[in-house]
Chains A and B, each alone.
Chain A
Amino acid sequence: MTHVLTRGAYALPGTSLAFKTGDWRSTEKPLHHHRKAPCHDACPAGEDQQAWLARLQEGNLEGAWLELVKANPLPAITGRVCPHPCETACNRKHMDQPIAIHNVERWLGDEAISRGWQYPVTTPSAEAPKVAVVGAGPGGLSAAYHLVRLGYRATVFEALPEIGGLLRAAIPMTRLPRSIIDAEGERLLALPGLELLLRQKLGRDVSLAELRSEFAAVVLAPGCQKSRPWDVAGAVPQHLHEGLHLLKEWIDHGWLPEARRVVVHGGGNTAVDLCRIMKRNGAEEVHLLTASGLPGPDTDPDDVLNVVPRELEEALEEGIQIHPHVTINRLIMKGSVFTGVEMVSLRKLPGQDGRKRRIPFEGTERLLHCDMVVPSIGEIVDPEGIEEILGQHKYLHPKDDTCELGDHPGVYVLGDARGDRGTVAAAIGDGRMAALTIQRRINGAEPLPPDTREVATFDKLNIEYFDRTERAPLRKLPVAERNDESEIELDLTGPEAAAEARRCMSCGNCLACDNCWTLCPDNAVIKTVEMASDGTHYVFDYDFCKGCGLCSAECPCGFIDMVPEDTVLPAATT
């Protein structure tokens, strides 16, 4: 072949690859950065909602449930009773409405029960260390589950003839049908390596010393079984019924004292549940007196009534009268007959030492006529069996989230008994942390350090890439049809749950949307596998990346950071 010399010239295709434009980068390079989604960060149970919603977006229902039960083995229960701080934290609230994570979790938990998905647990070896768990409430069950997951054997001691603890004793059937506790609990208890001993009360049937000598570790999850003492300036009406006790009586026996006008004093879920039950069972007026405020734009978040928001909404729908920022000043007695209370406005204000205290305001006293007052101001730990470690305290105080009881090695305390927890989800999270700490201790390691990864805040996202969509509707029984048995909130349908999952913006984690791959002018983002969805299939080719930062600016999820050249981000840990 002869070459004809002309003034033209040619180059071979794609030869520009010999020229590495990567050395044009002057300051920064793009790097994938797994941040914590705000829902994950806010979850007391340690669930990664973003991760399981991502599996749902892929249409992998069982995968989503398996991702969920990595942290929380009781989603059908928490999906009904949790105050869902995840939804409060959801970045979507800045755009339209938060994702209905709570309802999707419940739907997923119910699916798992009806389809019989298996917990990801293998049979522990016969030589695996045994751990004692005291209490079969949500915290104890969670600890036992996580211990078995980590390859240990767990023995659960429960004083009552049934499992569930507070779930069964104090949460009305309208919020949590007993069939759900039975279904989810029994599936859990059927796990290999998990043994349940009912009617075994600490201090009566077993002693703490025995447990400590026979087991590799002891997890205490007794909850709070004793009502906090209540009186008004030393006075207590005759026939006083304490809130939690009354609720238990009603749940176990269906018994309620008769009263026309009732005052409930307290500001928690028990108080509100009780108000609603009294109202439904014939009380004409039910008043809730609380020192906290109602949620609203002007209310300090620390000062808001500690009640699941939708429960509060339903209580108002049902006609409960709530008196915020008041306390009971005096009991009005006609001879020995109780006829009402005198209440006074108050606020929690910081004193000179900076600590908040309750300041009642003179001149705001007023009377409220009623036939019965029910205190529901919280519970404390029942000291039976744990006197030696409880001492004079109202609660057991482990040092931090590892749940280790400082002066008593091998003893772990979780859930309500800690005094600084208040939700089922927190107890479940403690159960997981206790199990992880036990594993580290048995292996002679220090407990896991807290997860300090950065949270993906709203400003990290590029919301141009998300459509505004309506949150899934929450269907409820109409007020007139509500009774003591039927669940008030209804389940999502499958398509609704799937649509809701698709609203997740995947904060801080790859959405596999191809934006970086599509928008790199320099072909410096390489996509390797078409079907992956976790970000591992996008690779930065630093030989050619000029460092313009377009991929970072156009990443919808805040997953790409522009960082100094020598930065190496730590690998994601969960």
Chain B
Amino acid sequence: MTDTSNATRLAELRLKHGRPPASPAEPSAPPRDKDLRKSQPRFRGLEAGHRACQGCGEALATRLVMESAGPDVMIANATGCLEVFTTPWPESAWRVPWIHSLFENAAAVAAGMESAMKAKGHRTKVLAFGGDGGTYDIGFQSLSGMLERYHNVLYVCYDNEAYMNTGIQRSSSTPHAASTTTSPSGKARMGKRHLKKDLLSIIAAHHIPYAASASVAYPTDIRRKVRHAMETEGPTFIVIHSPCPLGWGHDGSVTIEVARKAVQCGLFPLVELERGEVCNVMPIRQPQPVSEYLKLQSRFRHLFNDKDPRALEERQHLQALADHNITLFNLRGDQADPMDTAGMDTVRRGGPVH
């Protein structure tokens, strides 16, 4: 191309994107778009108008991931709430290429998309999204395969700890003693009998470059982890704790508080693993008792029945699990840390501190 056509092209681009003209001879852009939504200083990968419930943790987590992952991504989405509420035919809340196929094959579809991109010589990063049902249970086999074949895919699991889309059935991610429609509390049992599956350890056993857990209560931490995963070549995995107001039985306004308490009590530790080794944890400045977390949610309401001796036992069991996490990952830290549970979400005028 000659210099002249370059200059013409640049002038066209300036006009198109509303930039000021380089010289008075150039045409100036029409007045800026009055649509405030479009002039926001962030990438809107997941738009408004989706049908998630009020205060949905998963919708929030997805929005945060999309903002950090940026525009040059493609998504394979497993069946689940996220797929259902973002794409009611004939509309879509996504503003990036997005494919839904089946419940069990998001990782396999992502692997195929990644291979296609590679074959075409594109650098577009492929993301796979799934809920805990599509990740811990149904899509686990294809996820393991994708990790093993070492595809350059970031898999994000939105963990709301049950099959919420189909009506709150227990999954292998449902925590111990939580009541769901298929693990109801009653005479026989105090909610779910089994423990939450330690998925991160299984993922770590694949020896992948990066795996992490995050929580919607710590958006700055999510951004950092997603950016790190985006920069990493090879399979990466992030599980994001995302409260479900409907399934967990809390008000939509306390979604963040519930998620924060889960981290602060130690039941959902935020850790990072590289090649299977723990390389970083978010220390807890002041560990909270698990009951502070449990009592916010009606799925644990039966644990506060003073007449039932099993209630205290199960509460103590959950406390012991949280304490175990704190010991295992050394979450107590040595001293107040700017990146601990209290420092991480500190704000100042103009935004978060970190």
In the complex with contacts A11-B92, A17-B49, A465-B252 CB distance below 8 A: no
Contact with B along A511-528 (1 / 0, CB 8 A): 111110011111110111
Q: Which of B38-46, B113-121, B143-151, B265-273 contacts A (4 or more CB under 8 A)?
A: B38-46
Chain A CB count within 10 A is highest, among B42, B52, B94, B350, for B350
A17 proximity list for chain B (CB < 8 A): 47-49
Query: In this complex, what residue of A is CB-closest to B46?
Result: A523
Could you tell me if B93 and A57 are in contact, using CB atoms closer than 8 angstroms?
A: no
In the complex with contacts A464-B345, A539-B36, A512-B350 CB distance below 8 A: yes
Question: A15: CB under 8 A from chain B?
Answer: yes
Instruction: Name A553's contact: one of B52, B89, B245, B257 (CB within 8 Å).
Output: B257
Contact with B along A531-574 (1 / 0, CB 8 A): 00100000101011011111011101000001000000000000
In the complex with contacts A513-B347, A533-B349, A549-B253, A519-B49 CB distance below 8 A: no
**How far apart sit A12 and B94, CA to CA, in the bound complex (Å)?**
8
Instruction: Name B49's contact: one of A20, A466, A511 (CB within 8 Å).
Output: A20
Could you tell me if B95 and A14 are in contact, using CB atoms closer than 8 angstroms?
A: yes
Could you tell me if B91 and A18 are in contact, using CB atoms closer than 8 angstroms?
A: yes
**How far apart sit A21 and B255, CA to CA, in the bound complex (Å)?**
19
Question: B105: CB under 8 A from chain A?
Answer: no
Could you tell me if A550 and B41 are in contact, using CB atoms closer than 8 angstroms?
A: no
A550 proximity list for chain B (CB < 8 A): 55, 60, 252-253, 255-256
Minimal beta-carbon separation of B199 from chain A (angstroms) = 24
Could you tell me if A548 and B54 are in contact, using CB atoms closer than 8 angstroms?
A: yes
Question: A24: CB under 8 A from chain B?
Answer: yes
Could you tell me if A527 and B91 are in contact, using CB atoms closer than 8 angstroms?
A: no
Question: B59: CB under 8 A from chain A?
Answer: yes
How many residues of chain A get a CB closer than 8 Å to chain B's CBs? 55
Contact with A along B84-108 (1 / 0, CB 8 A): 0011111111111000000000000
Question: A502: CB under 8 A from chain B?
Answer: yes
**How far apart sit A181 and B112, CA to CA, in the bound complex (Å)?**
79
Question: B186: CB under 8 A from chain A?
Answer: no
Could you tell me if B89 and A9 are in contact, using CB atoms closer than 8 angstroms?
A: yes
In the complex with contacts A518-B219, A548-B253, A502-B348 CB distance below 8 A: yes
Instruction: Name A522's contact: one of B48, B253, B350 (CB within 8 Å).
Output: B48
Instruction: Name A549's contact: one of B49, B53, B251, B346 (CB within 8 Å).
Output: B251
Instruction: Name A523's contact: one of B54, B63, B352 (CB within 8 Å).
Output: B63
Could you tell me if B92 and A549 are in contact, using CB atoms closer than 8 angstroms?
A: no
B342 proximity list for chain A (CB < 8 A): 464, 467-468
A20 proximity list for chain B (CB < 8 A): 49
B94 proximity list for chain A (CB < 8 A): 13-14
Could you tell me if B347 and A511 are in contact, using CB atoms closer than 8 angstroms?
A: yes
Q: Categorize the interface residue count of chain B.
A: 35 or more
Q: List 17 A-B contacts (CB under 8 A).
A: A11-B92, A15-B49, A16-B47, A20-B49, A57-B349, A464-B345, A513-B352, A521-B52, A521-B55, A521-B56, A523-B46, A523-B47, A523-B48, A526-B37, A539-B36, A541-B36, A550-B255
Question: B254: CB under 8 A from chain A?
Answer: yes
Could you tell me if B345 and A465 are in contact, using CB atoms closer than 8 angstroms?
A: yes
Chain B CB count within 10 A is highest, among A10, A21, A467, A528, for A467
B260 proximity list for chain A (CB < 8 A): 464
Could you tell me if B90 and A11 are in contact, using CB atoms closer than 8 angstroms?
A: yes
A15 proximity list for chain B (CB < 8 A): 49, 90-92
Q: Is the interface of B mostly helix, strand, loop or mixed?
A: loop
Minimal beta-carbon separation of A484 from chain B (angstroms) = 43
A502 proximity list for chain B (CB < 8 A): 348-349
A526 proximity list for chain B (CB < 8 A): 36-37, 40
In the complex with contacts A550-B256, A553-B256, A511-B55 CB distance below 8 A: no
Chain B CB count within 10 A is highest, among A19, A513, A518, A541, for A518
Could you list which residues of chain B lie within 8 angstroms of chain A, going by C-beta atoms? Answer: 36-37, 39-42, 44, 46-57, 59-60, 63-64, 86-96, 219, 245, 251-257, 260, 342-343, 345-352
A543 proximity list for chain B (CB < 8 A): 48
Given contacts A15-B91, A521-B255, A553-B257, 14 further A-B contacts (CB under 8 A): A14-B93, A19-B91, A21-B50, A24-B54, A58-B350, A511-B348, A512-B349, A514-B347, A521-B63, A523-B46, A528-B39, A539-B36, A547-B54, A549-B253
A14 proximity list for chain B (CB < 8 A): 44, 47, 92-95
B254 proximity list for chain A (CB < 8 A): 553
Could you tell me if B59 and A16 are in contact, using CB atoms closer than 8 angstroms?
A: no
Question: A506: CB under 8 A from chain B?
Answer: yes
Chain B CB count within 10 A is highest, among A16, A556, A562, for A16
**How far apart sit A376 and B245, CA to CA, in the bound complex (Å)?**
65
Minimal beta-carbon separation of B195 from chain A (angstroms) = 29
Could you tell me if B347 and A515 are in contact, using CB atoms closer than 8 angstroms?
A: yes
Query: In this complex, what residue of B is CB-closest to A554?
Result: B256
Minimal beta-carbon separation of A24 from chain B (angstroms) = 7
B346 proximity list for chain A (CB < 8 A): 465-467
B92 proximity list for chain A (CB < 8 A): 10-16
Query: In this complex, what residue of B is CB-closest to A12?
Result: B92
Question: A127: CB under 8 A from chain B?
Answer: no
**How far apart sit A465 and B352, CA to CA, in the bound complex (Å)?**
9
**How far apart sit A467 and B88, CA to CA, in the bound complex (Å)?**
43
Minimal beta-carbon separation of A560 from chain B (angstroms) = 11
Instruction: Name B55's contact: one of A21, A468, A548 (CB within 8 Å).
Output: A548
Could you tell me if B351 and A11 are in contact, using CB atoms closer than 8 angstroms?
A: no
Minimal beta-carbon separation of A519 from chain B (angstroms) = 6
